[in-house]
Amino acid sequence: MRLPRHWLIALALLALIWSAVAVVMRQTDDLVSWPGKVIELLEATPWLDGGTATELERRTHLHRVLTNLDRLDASQRRSLREDGQELVDRFLASLTTDEQKEYVNRMIEPHLEALGAAMKRLPEEDRKRLVGRLRGDLRNLRAGSAEGERLNEQDREFLDFMIAEDPVLFLREAPLKVKMELAPVLEEMQSRLQGFRR
3-state secondary structure of 151: coil
Other Cβ atoms closer than 10 A to 138: 22
Q: Convert the pLDDT of each residue in 102-124 to its tens digit.
A: 988 888 888 788 888 888 888 88
User: What is the per-residue pLDDT for 28?
Assistant: 56
Mean pLDDT (whole number) for 7-30: 74
CA-based Rg of the chain, rounded to a whole angstrom? Answer: 23
Mean pLDDT (whole number) for 129-144: 73
> What torsion, rounded to 10 degrees, do the Cα atoms 168, 138, 75, 166 define?
-10
Ramachandran region, residue 50 (left: φ > 0; alpha: ψ -120 to 50; beta: rest)? left
Q: How many angstroms from the chain centroid is the CA of residue 87?
A: 13
Which pTM does this prediction carry? 0.67
Higher pLDDT, 32 or 52: 52
Report the distance separating Cα 167 and Cα 172, nearest Å: 8
Domain ranges of the chain: 32-107, 122-198
Helix axes 97-107, 109-121, angle to 10 degrees: 40
Find, among 74, 99, 83, 107, the residue nearest to 181 by Cα. Answer: 107
Maximal C-alpha separation, the chain: 89
Report the distance separating Cα 101 and Cα 159, nearest Å: 23
User: What is the per-residue pLDDT for 148?
Assistant: 46
Report the distance separating Cα 114 and Cα 56, nearest Å: 31
User: What is the per-residue pLDDT for 157?
Assistant: 66
Report the share of the chain in percent with pLDDT over 90. 22
